[in-house]
Structure 1
């Protein structure tokens, strides 16, 4: 028996992300990842709590916690289709001052980058063959 035997985990509700400036981070996450504040949760940020940002479907939610210095080190991996991976690659590499690293993991492809506060992100796809055909390593 495990603690989790009491019920089934449904999904990841949100990921805590620590940032130096919540307003600047909100703008970055909106511009780069297309995430927007969750209207019904904005009161938390007004009361000194986290700012919840999500995609329109509410399948990806980040809780931004403003903290001057952070020693937290984690990577948030976001799964996409092969076609969307290629679109993300085009968009991310076009961003000035955003260092993007692409990796071929034999069964998946990943794009790695970080936000201005050093929080690491990964865009990943398991549509390996489709991306391998389209990738130009020259």
Structure 2
């Protein structure tokens, strides 16, 4: 049975990423994750952390829905692909160069992500699939 370990992060859409970063730091105690700062270029997220909680701030002038992201280990990453396919849920898989993610929506269009930090283990299996 595929299982979810934790909430990994939540996508938050803001009009001004820098102003939002200050607010989240001052009000809620979140700080930028320096090791992921390279993502905060162009349309990429600014990742903030508070203990085990992570937020990914995306700048957008268009109102968007919040994406709920669950974290899993590498084995469950593949089990979730099987489970989604078995339930005829359309999904995409993305290589983020330090994480792998599965994206899908519920029947009402609410977006979800299942992400894994087991990058290398998943990368090996993904490359094996391509070669098969």
TM-score when scaled to structure 2?
A: 0.50
> What TM-score, normalized to structure 1?
0.48
- Relative to its length, the structure with more strand (as a share) is 2
Q: Which has the larger radius of gyration?
A: 1
